[in-house]
């Protein structure tokens, strides 16, 4: 097994992976250089952070079977192409949640107290207490969380300590006990959240459905004087519309992500924070703490260890979530050829297997196979299986609708 690591990754994690197989560490690779590196190394597993993984890259190494995103978002990986090639794509959800939540609160506090502007004036020798000695204060304000995943929940924990009232909206009902535990009220939709919030903080992944989720219409709906915090992914917010709203004096904003942001660690980047004073911004560093880096490294190692040892991929993001219509449960003696015979019988019926697991009982005498599919085999096929000398029981189950 060869693991190609195409982004920065802690030495401790590389050392553990090195015990599983060969590790090639190439953190300097760009998206354009990645296909050649994959072709050269013939990597079985690829680990990336922000590097774009294109269909060309995925096709460059025939043995490639797993791509691990050392972070949460997978929008930089062509998951559709990976699925067509039978390549697993996995991520590390929640491992950087605290780091992003801390930056979110930092941006909220910095904007309220105008910390950046005051610091810059002091660095230039200007004492301006009369200007910066005014702030609204956070206590009693309403913070609206767009999305309620792990990052938003960590923000809620910290926001409560500052006396903020908390709202959230999501595409699905959130468990009442989860809302109660975090002191959050779920509102009907995004519009209701924008209407009621003094501060709006965005915590949803980027997707085609979420492109410009906070667009010109949504920005116009926010309260005059409100603040927008964006630490999720570039493209969820319409940067141009936001810049216009801030420039007009209607809103303030704190951003960690941008549309069209550079993929590398250092680059020239003309952005909306450059000429808009009421936008505070950081260069996509939300997840960049030592604590988050260590947690993500440990999770990447766990994913790869499980895949190598047992073929199980934790947090796979490109699997078919469709529930099979039927499952066949076969208890059988643990002998060579029994499973092959079952699969051959299904093949003769032209039944396409969608999933399969086989569990061995203590002592190694018997096992239980569960096979799922869309089309039910005939009664004759099931009877042939029951008549097999090494098969103990056969049960066909239909999925509940």
Q: Looking at the annotation, which residues are catalytic?
A: 233, 261, 284
**Which residues make beta-bridge pairs with 371?**
328, 356
Sheet holding 88-90, edge to edge: 22-25, 2-5, 45-48, 66-69, 88-90
Give the pair of three-digit tokens for residue 266: 């250092």
In sequence order, which residues have a C-beta less than 8 Å from that of residue 171 and are 6 or more positions away?
none
Query: What are 161's two structure tokens?
Result: 């300590």
- ∠ CA 368-305-371, rounded to 5°: 25
């Amino acid at each position: 097994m060869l693991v190609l690591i195409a982004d920065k990754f802690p030495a401790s994690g590389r050392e553990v992976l090195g015990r599983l197989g060969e590790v090639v560490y190439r953190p300097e690779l760009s998206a354009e250089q990645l296909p050649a590196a994959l072709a050269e190394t013939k990597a079985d597993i690829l680990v990336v952070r922000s590097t774009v993984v294109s269909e060309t890259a995925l096709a460059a190494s025939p043995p490639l079977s797993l791509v691990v995103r050392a972070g949460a978002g997978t929008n930089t990986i062509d998951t559709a192409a990976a699925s067509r090639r039978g390549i697993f794509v996995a991520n590390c959800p929640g491992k950087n949640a605290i780091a992003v939540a801390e930056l979110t609160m930092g941006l909220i506090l910095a904007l309220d107290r105008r910390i950046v502007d005051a610091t810059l004036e002091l660095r230039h020798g200007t004492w301006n207490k009369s200007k910066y000695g005014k702030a609204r204060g956070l206590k009693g304000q309403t913070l609206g969380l767009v999305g309620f995943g792990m990052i938003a929940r960590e923000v809620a924990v910290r926001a409560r300590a500052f006396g903020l009232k908390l709202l959230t909206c999501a595409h699905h009902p959130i468990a009442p006990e989860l809302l109660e535990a975090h002191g959050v009220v779920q509102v009907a939709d995004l519009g209701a959240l924008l209407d009621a919030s003094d501060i709006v903080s965005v915590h949803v992944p980027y997707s085609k459905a979420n492109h410009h989720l906070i667009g010109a219409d949504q920005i116009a709906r926010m309260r005059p004087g409100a603040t927008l915090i964006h630490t999720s992914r570039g493209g969820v917010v319409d940067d141009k519309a936001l810049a216009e709203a801030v420039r007009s004096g209607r809103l303030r904003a704190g951003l960690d992500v941008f549309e069209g942001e550079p993929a590398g660690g250092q680059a020239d980047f003309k952005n909306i924070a450059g000429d808009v004073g009421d936008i505070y911004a950081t260069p996509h560093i939300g997840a960049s703490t030592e604590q988050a880096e260590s947690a993500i490294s440990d999770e990447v190692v766990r994913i790869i260890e499980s895949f190598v040892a047992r073929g199980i991929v934790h947090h796979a993001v490109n699997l078919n979530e469709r529930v099979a219509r039927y499952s066949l449960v076969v208890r059988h003696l643990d002998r060579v050829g029994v499973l092959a015979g079952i699969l051959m019988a299904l093949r003769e019926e032209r039944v396409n297997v969608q999933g399969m697991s086989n569990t061995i009982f203590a002592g190694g005498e018997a096992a239980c196979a569960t096979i799922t599919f869309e089309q039910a085999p005939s009664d004759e096929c099931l009877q042939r299986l029951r008549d097999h000398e090494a098969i103990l029981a056969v049960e066909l189950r239909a999925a509940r609708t």
